[in-house]
Amino acid sequence: MNRSLLKIITITAVSIILYSCGGTKQAAPNPANMPVPVNVFEAHAGKATYFDKFPGTVTALMQVDIHPEVEGYVTGIFFKEGDHVTKGQKLYSIDDSKYQASYNSAQANVKVANSNLEQAQKDADRYVYLNEHDAVAKQILDHAMTTLQNAKDQVTAAKQDLTKTKTDLSYSVIRAPFDGTIGISQVKVGNTVNVGQTVLNTISSDNPMAVDFVVNEKQIPRFLGLKQHPPAASDSVFSLLLPDNSLYAGSGQISFIDRGVNPLTGTITVRLVFQNDASILRAGMSCTVRVRNGDTTAQMLVPSKAIVEQMGEYFMYVAKDTLIASTDTAKNKDAQPQGPSLHAVQRKVTLGQTIADKVIVLAGIGEGDKVIIDGVQRLRPGAPIILGGPKPAAH
């Protein structure tokens, strides 16, 4: 078969196929010109309550390690670990046999010193009387007065020794220095403890509790204002999120702002105080401090899903009515344009605080703007749109 015959057969076959299909088909409409179904949110300014959040740490207002003041072996433990204890409550006892013996000896020494003083006083009084009548040598009187003074000094020394031994004896019983929660005992009954070396336990105050967090130095005026003009106790300006993300039932007050700024980080520590009646807050616990923003001006709140990010900048699409000229309009100046049609207009926006599923828009949209919230992924600037896009699935 030569090439001419093959060409004739091919042309004939194509003609038959086109005839059987009813002629040449028209081109399908360009999908780019089809309106995109969308849903919109009408923007309105209103009151926006939101919280600034800071990582915080729960801290006891008072916390001390308990050390023994005398040495010996532990003879008793009088608390349950982790319990709340009260000031003056008996916690430990240390063998007091030698301290009791020292105290008894000191008491006896005080009695002896007092007897010697009494005798020296009588001798001195007698020699003073005799000296007044020139019946005794001056030297004897001087010796009697010296003996009297020595006896007085011995009484003073004996009493001081008695005080010391009494103190040592009292130190054999260790009591809670303040109300608080006591931890795990570091010693058991029978263990020997030494002064300045052994830590018996740790006790920390538990109500109220402090929460420390750091803020940027730029926010110092804000927190100084809150300290100088504290909110009412019932006002939840300061609140806590616990480690399980639950909200703590209670509000706090500023206790103090640290004396100086950390020059390495440019931050400063702020301390809040919270009541802890239910003993939920524990020293060392991590939490999130929420500080309610005090700005009462109306804010523009828009659903966060309307945001489009492009190279670090943020945009939103707004539905706008526009007049679109027909193809005849360009050829005939007297031709009328088509009716209003919705199109997506891109707006660059400045964002503020995120509140739940919404975000504050500081600039870029205005009151009454119809912000596109569904279908934004398929939009381009100027794209035709139609209201009534698919609703988001309910969660």
Domain range list for the chain: 33-48+297-387, 52-61+203-292, 96-171
The first and second tokens of residue 11, run together, are 């042309």
CA angle 276, 179, 286 (to 5 degrees): 40
Asked if 374 and 39 count as a contact pair (C-beta separation under 8 A), the reply is: yes
Owner of token pair 């509140």? 355
Give the residues across from 202 on adjacent strands: 65
Tokens of 377: 């992924």
Which CATH code for domain 33-48+297-387?
2.40.420.20
Shared fold status for 33-48+297-387 and 52-61+203-292: no
Residue 160: the pLDDT is 95
Please state the pTM of the whole predicted model.
0.62
Contact 55, 76 (CB under 8 A): no
Superfamily name with CATH number, domain 52-61+203-292: Efflux pump adaptor protein, beta barrel domain (2.40.30.170)
The CATH number of 96-171 is: 1.10.287.470
pLDDT in tens, the chain (395 residues): 455 555 555 555 545 554 455 444 443 444 556 888 888 888 888 777 778 889 999 999 999 999 999 999 999 999 999 999 999 999 999 999 999 999 999 999 999 999 999 999 998 888 888 888 888 788 888 898 999 899 999 999 999 999 999 999 999 999 999 999 999 999 999 999 999 899 999 999 999 999 999 999 999 999 998 888 887 766 678 999 999 999 998 889 999 999 999 999 999 999 999 999 988 999 999 999 999 876 667 778 888 888 888 888 898 888 888 644 444 444 455 544 454 578 888 889 888 877 778 888 888 888 888 888 887 888 888 888 888 755 554 44
Contact by Cβ (8 Å): 243, 286: yes
